[in-house]
């Protein structure tokens, strides 16, 4: 495939430390702060894959499996799940690591849609994707299902 990249070519790993100004009254990471970090990590992944600016079109869902505490390291891993025409789905897995306790837990999963744009903000064709591993191929297929559901819901909301 010409003008295509492997999933592994665009993976972004971002690490943040949960500080007091990132937490609520219970010493847990604010959901909005985590969403901000997820959006940045996904945007970097999309930009790296396409070698251009990509903008957030939608946040499909963010599942909160476990809370993240003050002092934890938050590791975000973003990868391209599937490319459509001008848009692509980026998946972000979030882990909380406590160096003090020696634990690492998968805390969140998020799916975001990004659109490639030119210097005038107009959508342009995205770089094709080559999924290689079984996991990448599974995520590639699941991304199509999520897209179809998003499009169905968009029609219902109109």
Per-residue model confidence as pLDDT tens digits over 39-76: 999 999 999 999 999 999 999 878 889 999 999 999 99
Quote the pLDDT of residue 158. Answer: 56
- Residue 125 and residue 83: Cα distance in Å, rounded? 10
Number of domains in the chain: 1
Range of the domain at 48: 4-157
Query: What CATH number is given to the structural domain containing 36?
Result: 3.10.129.10
Question: In whole angstroms, how far apart are CA 28 and each of 22, 38, 103, 107?
Answer: 8, 17, 16, 12
Question: In whole angstroms, how far apart are CA 113 and each of 19, 26, 43, 91, 105?
Answer: 29, 32, 10, 9, 25
The model's pLDDT over 133-148, given as tens digits with 9 standing for 90+, comes to 999 999 999 999 999 9
Among 86, 35, 95, 82, smallest CA distance to 61 is for 35
Q: How many whole angstroms from its chain centre is CA 143?
A: 12
């Amino acid at each position: 495939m010409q003008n295509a990249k492997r999933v592994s070519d665009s993976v972004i790993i971002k690490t943040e430390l949960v500080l007091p100004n990132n937490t609520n009254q219970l010493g847990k990471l604010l959901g909005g702060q985590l969403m901000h970090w997820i959006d940045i990590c996904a945007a970097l992944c999309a930009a790296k894959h396409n070698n251009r600016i990509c903008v957030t079109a939608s946040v499909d869902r963010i599942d909160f499996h476990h809370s993240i505490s003050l002092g934890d390291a938050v590791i975000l891993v973003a990868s391209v799940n599937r490319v459509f025409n001008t848009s692509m789905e980026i998946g972000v897995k979030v882990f909380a690591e406590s160096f003090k306790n020696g634990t690492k837990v998968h805390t969140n999963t998020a799916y975001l849609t990004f659109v490639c744009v030119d210097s005038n903000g107009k959508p342009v064709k995205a770089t094709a994707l080559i999924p290689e591993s079984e996991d990448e191929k599974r995520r590639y297929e699941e991304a199509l299902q999520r897209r179809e559901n998003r499009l169905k819901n968009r029609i219902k909301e109109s």
